[in-house]
Amino acid sequence: MAADQRMKQVLDAQDGLYTLVLKHSDGTYEPRVIGSIVEYLYAPDDPEAVVEKMAAESTRIVSLTITESGYNVSDLTGEFDVNNPAVVADLEPGSVLRTTFGLVTEALRRRRMRGLRPFTIMSCDNLQDNGYRSKRVFTAFARLRDPELGDWVEREARFPNSMVDRITPVTTDGDRAEISERFGIEDRWPVVCEPTPSGCSRTPSRPDGRHTSRPGYRWWTMSSPTS
């Protein structure tokens, strides 16, 4: 997407730094410079670099924020749409990978060939049972590439159901101007949001069974009426 490419250009120019501004209910603003981004890879520019980064042993979690339509589920069948032209193109031998499924599955294939465990695929989209949905579609694509790979992904990979509760609007020119005026910070890609992030995970996202968390975040274990 064009916005993603612009974001990469901005963050590269800012050494990966951006301003997080919390808007509190009492009208106060709390700015903080975030330095957690150490590298920004843009898949359309260099899909091989993205695949190899995910395939590296040091990668433990690949998170997704691709919206509901990004899961490529057919409105007619409720199953993975194998006729999507982008999916068909990614399944061609030697193709330049363009879809989320193609990139992630190729990284998983390389890890399997290297004797590595699969990384956890964690959907952060606000969808019910997003982990179950992720498992269905990625397993389906992997089986189209190689049935044995699909079985391995289904058996070994973790797809936790999750929910992240934080309203974060799209950054606007008004946000940029306000941050410059209020704090004297010239940031071309600030993030303005409400405080108190929280999340839920039904399946542990680490092999040792513990949740990945950090101070200031609240996590709960989800349950369903039948669990």
pLDDT digits (tens, 9 = 90+) for 68-92: 999 999 999 999 999 999 999 999 9
Question: 18-23 and 29-34 as β-strands: parallel, antiparallel, unpaired?
Answer: antiparallel
149 with 142: CB under 8 angstroms?
Answer: yes
13-31, pLDDT tens digit by residue?
999 999 999 999 899 999 9
Continuous segment of H or E residues that includes residue 110? helix 100-113
Reported as a single tens digit per residue, the pLDDT across 49-72 is 999 999 999 999 999 999 999 999
pLDDT for 218 equals: 53
Stated pTM of the model: 0.84
Q: What is the pLDDT of residues 156-210, one digit of tens each?
A: 999 999 887 777 888 999 999 999 999 999 999 999 998 866 556 655 545 444 5
Q: What is the dihedral of CA 143, 147, 152, 158, to 10 degrees?
A: 10
